[in-house]
Amino acid sequence: MREKATVYLVGAGPGDPDLLTIKALKALKEADVVVYDRLVSSEILDLVGPGVTRIFVGKAANNHHLPQEEINELLVKLAQSNHTVVRLKGGDPFIFGRGSEEAEELARHGVPFEVVPGVTAASGISAALGVPLTHRGLSTGVRFVTGHARAGEELELNWKSLADEQTTLVFYMGLSSLPDISKNLIEQGMSPETPAAAISKGTTEGQRQCVSTLAELPLMVKDLDLPSPVLLVVGKVLGLAHMLNWQDVIYEDAFSELELPEATASSAQ
């Protein structure tokens, strides 16, 4: 760790405090100030030492406690006041965490900073479900995609490129856009029967999940009132969930009868 007047952009992981990295924990122990997001769990905040100043800057859809520009300015001012600052973010700071924007602002002002990566929601939550993001014969790659659109607008994505049966898709912050995601992927040729899942508060004690098909998931989720954050996963790899369910994740009965993809069945023999 560096000396004073440094900002650590730290990934807190998807929620489970046991997924916090050792380097992240060291940064928390050295911090004078912790600037944290809405998605940082209370269990992780409990690891912050006594006497450390905590500043909440959480953002939810259409409800920003502090605008991003003001967060950027706050980090600069705190560091210039000779504080060791931990900017604590859910998941990984450089994967839909706007950490790079904060790093740009720090760099422009000559403020020393360090990025401490975290377990991103895609890998942490899929692992908790027993779902590999790639698997021989089922998925040759994975794409992390923003599912968040501006209020009143539709997602502007390259749907043709995304509608690849051999790619696992992970949509961050995509609950409100799920109907559009389903419709556009199917229109571009992805099978309506492609397994799809919505996972709420993944890796935490409040985790809930709905596993269905790409065509049916929007209707299924609509009746469940899943609390945010919700991660969406689309791809054949979800057919492995029941076989690789290592921690007895409970699936909604109505959505659990997915057929195991042929490539998986043959490779398991």
Radius of gyration in angstroms for the set of CA atoms belonging to the chain, rounded to a whole number: 20
For Cα atoms 127, 22, 227, give the angle at the middle one, nearest 5 degrees: 45
181, 232 contact by CB (below 8 A): yes
> Given the structure tokens 């944290």, which residue do they identify?
36
Cα 164 to Cα 234, 235, 236, distances in angstroms: 10, 9, 11
Active site residues: 37, 59
Structure tokens at 173: 């912050």
Backbone angles phi, psi at 58, to 5 degrees: -60, 150
DSSP letter at 236 equals G
Buried (b) or exposed (e) across 199-232, using 16+ Cβ within 10 A? Answer: bbbbbbeebbbbbbbbbbbbebbeeeebeebbbb
First to last CA, the chain: 50
d(CA 240, CA 249): 13
**Please, which residues have CB within 8 angstroms of residue 48's CB and are 6 or more apart in sequence?**
28, 31, 34, 54
For the stretch 249-254, contacts whose Cβ atoms lie closer than 8 Å and that sit 24 or more positions apart, written own/partner, are 249/128, 249/129, 249/130, 249/207, 249/209, 251/209, 251/211, 252/209, 252/210, 252/211, 252/220, 252/224, 254/220
101, 70 contact by CB (below 8 A): no
